[in-house]
Structure 1
Amino acid sequence: MADLRFLHPSAGVSWLDRNLGKFRYLGEGDSNLLRVNEGAITVKSRLNWDWSAAVTAKYAAWQKVAVDITESFLLFRPAESPLRFSGRLGMFFPPVSMENEGTAWSSPYTLTSSAINTWIGEELRVFGGEAQASYRFDGGDRLGVFAAGYGNNDTAGALLAWRGFSLHDYEAVLNDRLPLPAGVGIQKIFPLQSPNTEPFVEVDGTPGFYVGATLERPALGKLRAVYYDNRGRTTAIENGQYAWHTRFGSVGLRLELPWNSLLIGQGLVGDTRMGAPEGGVFPVNVNFWACSFLLTKALNAHRLSVRHDRFGTSDDDLFPEDLNRETGHAWTVNYNYLFERSHQLNLEVSVINSDRDARLLLGEDPRQDQTLWQVAYRFFF
């Protein structure tokens, strides 16, 4: 996939510039931007009837390494049968998103990922194995369960606590370093913390896990529930990276509607904490939640999609000067046109209203409205 963008941001400074802006492309002096947003390639190889392998590599701005890996795994999937066992082994996304199922974890509906999927792409990746078992009933319904064990995801929660939710389409790669906000007191309160978070490092030597279940009915939809717990040992730190204990529950629904329409809903609630507790109170302790609803309709080669996001975090930790509370909501409207089977044009607008107390430390209004217009040409080959 090749992805070219023309962008018109309204105001603000991006979190990638160590600020608290909610979009990926919002920097000082930016007004109209023409960018090579992403270039990605997925190579799949069938090893035999049951085993296959897949590797996805990509280029995008801000990567530490110009071309790096987002996924690389072995897949075991035998032929279709009423009772089927399957699995994955390697580096891959946990099965949370109900939208990002396209090439290189892209979405066929919007350019900008939901708040939930943005965070999944930034901080979560499985380095381990996942086992699945499913049973197909006579009517075609299928019930499945799955579980996984993994490492190298100890810092998940750092961005969510100190920057908050964001909306964009950048997925972290294997060797990434993502910037933390400057000027909000992170390094003053936690002098051992690096100014960057490395999302895929092992800090505490403790494996995490997730479990879940799915229910599918042909021509109606899919329901999926996941519980995720990285089991981070919050007192561990290595090379400027703290281990965070992050856990959440997630529910997702895809519902087929009349007139070639689709409704996708996702919800997530959890908490993340870090440091040695004093009197049962952690240095950082953030509860978080988010939900989104996307309605999309296809008409031949045309598609119109509308999504509403709501998100928030609470702050219940040792340091009142570490301001991690926020609330927000967003609307994203996308029209895309697919022509000659491999070319796609997109027109999209995203509007975010967010209220984050930490902006006061930067001399900014904690409540901000930000808008991003995008025109994109995507070529799939």
Structure 2
Amino acid sequence: MKYWVWILGLYSPLILAAEHKLAGIIDVRASYTNGITSYVDGGLGKFRFNPDGQVSLAQAGVSYTVDWDNPLSAHVVANAYWDGVEDNIGITEAYLKYKGLPWDNGLRLGGKLGIIYPEISMENIATAWSSPYTLTYSGINSWLGEEVRHIGAQISVDYLGKFHDSRHDFTLSGEFFKNNDTTGAMLAWHGWTSSSRQTLWQETLPLSDLPSLDGGELGSQAKESDPFLELDDRIGYHVKTQWRMQGLGRLEVGYYDNDADTRVVIEGQYAWLTQFVHIGTKWRLPYNIELIAQYMKGDTLMKSPDGRNIVDNGYDSAFILLSHRWQKHRLSARFEDFSVTDNDLTFDDDNSEEGQAMTVSYSYQLKKGWFVQAEYNRIDSLRPARAEQGFPEDLVEQQWQLASRYYF
């Protein structure tokens, strides 16, 4: 007992000297969806919400930061949902962050350690990984929010041009991580989606009722996927380089590889080897128009314990988002193209799909931190697996949403 009192006494000056910050978002929505059962509910629908209308707590997010009087800070992000599909509350991120002071030559070191997202998203830049542009994320960022997170360590080196009278900055970062071995399973079995939900760290995700998952080659697959599971004790990596022009925009390129051992399966959870390259740009255009464009291309592979390819998919997705903000108004439009290519010969397990998506979103600021936002989403996709459940292979799904969003 005395030992713990001594430890607390030693660190109490650090705790008291720290600056504590609390920020959050409360997002209440009325929505109407014209489609089929949501992928969140084990269906093959592309949207987060089930068909017909509902009122929901789409997101209650809290971000808590402890910032010490040094380059180190601690961050915890929690989210809660009450949406009639999967009501839950839990942690989505928790990490230590280091941001050093620049040296005389303009170099600066930074890093993160903990439960983190790979630094890919250009949309989800607001509190609790929300987006200030649209209510629903692009297909790329919907997948990141669902499956692509992990326990990892990241280190970055910035070159700051202002130390050399230049507007050009450069960043090189490397990340090493674990707890991501099943990444790719949901992209394979329900495809690209348009969502506004991040998987909580403790959650598992239901797989759709497909014939291939009920016997045969895939009969031993668990009925739910655990997206943040460590199975093979191997370390994945993500590298990225970024160029920024101060006041105008940036361009970045990265490569992600979870380095999973596809021979490993434990209690119905398979290790998926998932790799992709991503390219993105964010640019300020004339007339106060913001341009965001991202492209992702990769593949994911799952094998049987004896080494046969069971699921072998290539995938790609791209979007362009234009957003114009004036006075208390913001108007955003996003256009997407996506596909999954099924390269394996597993019977009755066609994961292929292709499609396009469109989003138009308008928000108005009532007062500081409080916005009302209306949005229309449309996805036109071709997915043969839907025929196994009695739905059309070629399907148009639409969604209308009206939200009250409060940031504090």
TM-score (norm 2): 0.90
Q: Check whether the contact 1:55–1:72 (CA below 8 A) recurs between aligned residues.
A: yes
- Equivalent residue number for residue 332 of structure 1: 359
- Equivalent residue number for residue 8 of structure 2: none
Alpha-carbon distance in 2 for matches of 1:52, 1:111 = 29
Moved more, 57-66 or 137-146: 57-66
Q: Check whether the contact 2:27–2:404 (CA below 8 A) recurs between aligned residues.
A: yes
Alignment-mate amino acid for residue 301 of structure 1: K
Alpha-carbon distance in 2 for matches of 1:21, 1:318 = 25
Deviations 1:277-300 (A, max 9, x none): 88x861110000000000000011
Offset at 1:171? Answer: 0.6
Offset at 1:183? Answer: 3.1
Normalized per residue, the structure richer in helix is 2
Q: How many residues are paired up? A: 377
- Equivalent residue number for residue 129 of structure 1: 153
Q: How does 1:9-24 map to 2 (within 5 A)?
A: 9-24=33-48
Q: Check whether the contact 2:30–2:55 (CA below 8 A) recurs between aligned residues.
A: yes
Deviations 1:225-248 (A, max 9, x none): 110000111111112211000000
Deviating runs (4+, > 3 A) in structure 1?
Answer: 61-66
- Equivalent residue number for residue 280 of structure 2: 252
Does 2:167 align with 1:146? Answer: no
Is the alpha carbon distance of 1:166 and 1:64 closer, same or farther for their aligned partners in structure 2, counting shifts above 3 Å? Answer: closer
Moved more, 100-109 or 9-18: 9-18
- Equivalent residue number for residue 261 of structure 1: 289
Does 2:270 align with 1:242? Answer: yes
- Equivalent residue number for residue 253 of structure 2: 225
Offset at 1:33? Answer: 0.6
SS in 2 for 1:204: coil
Alignment-mate amino acid for residue 36 of structure 1: L
Offset at 1:193? Answer: 1.0
SS in 1 for 2:203: coil
SS in 2 for 1:32: strand
Deviations 1:240-289 (A, max 9, x none): 211000000000100110111100000000000001488x8611100000
SS in 2 for 1:288: strand
Does 2:71 align with 1:44? Answer: no
Alignment-mate amino acid for residue 66 of structure 1: N
In the alignment, structure 1 segments of 5+ residues that lack a partner are none
- Equivalent residue number for residue 114 of structure 2: 90
Alignment-mate amino acid for residue 244 of structure 1: W
SS in 2 for 1:160: helix
Identity of aligned residues (%): 34
Alpha-carbon distance in 2 for matches of 1:368, 1:228 = 31
Alignment-mate amino acid for residue 194 of structure 1: A
Q: Check whether the contact 2:293–2:319 (CA below 8 A) recurs between aligned residues.
A: yes
Deviations 1:9-30 (A, max 9, x none): 1132111222111001024xxx
Alpha-carbon distance in 1 for matches of 2:86, 2:331 = 35
Q: Check whether the contact 1:187–1:195 (CA below 8 A) recurs between aligned residues.
A: no
Q: How does 1:175-190 map to 2 (within 5 A)?
A: 175-189=202-216, 190=218
User: What is the root-mean-square deviation in Å for CA atoms of aligned residues?
Assistant: 1.6
- Equivalent residue number for residue 396 of structure 2: 369
Q: Check whether the contact 2:248–2:283 (CA below 8 A) recurs between aligned residues.
A: yes
Deviations 1:120-154 (A, max 9, x none): 11001131100000112221311110001000000
Q: 1:70 aligns with which of 63, 75, 92?
A: 92
- Equivalent residue number for residue 3 of structure 1: 27
Q: 2:384 aligns with which of 354, 357, 362?
A: 357
Q: Check whether the contact 1:90–1:127 (CA below 8 A) recurs between aligned residues.
A: yes
Alpha-carbon distance in 2 for matches of 1:367, 1:298 = 36
Offset at 1:187? Answer: 3.1
Alignment-mate amino acid for residue 89 of structure 2: V
Does 2:143 align with 1:115? Answer: no
Q: 1:303 aligns with which of 322, 330, 342?
A: 330
Q: Check whether the contact 2:41–2:86 (CA below 8 A) recurs between aligned residues.
A: no
Q: Check whether the contact 1:277–1:283 (CA below 8 A) recurs between aligned residues.
A: no
SS in 2 for 1:201: coil
Moved more, 75-84 or 94-103: 75-84
Deviations 1:190-236 (A, max 9, x none): 12211111111101111110111000001210111110000111111
Is the alpha carbon distance of 1:326 and 1:141 closer, same or farther for their aligned partners in structure 2, counting shifts above 3 Å? Answer: same
Q: Check whether the contact 1:252–1:265 (CA below 8 A) recurs between aligned residues.
A: yes
Offset at 1:79? Answer: 2.7
Q: Check whether the contact 2:56–2:82 (CA below 8 A) recurs between aligned residues.
A: no
- Equivalent residue number for residue 155 of structure 1: 182
Alpha-carbon distance in 2 for matches of 1:270, 1:18 = 24
Is the alpha carbon distance of 1:303 and 1:64 closer, same or farther for their aligned partners in structure 2, counting shifts above 3 Å? Answer: closer
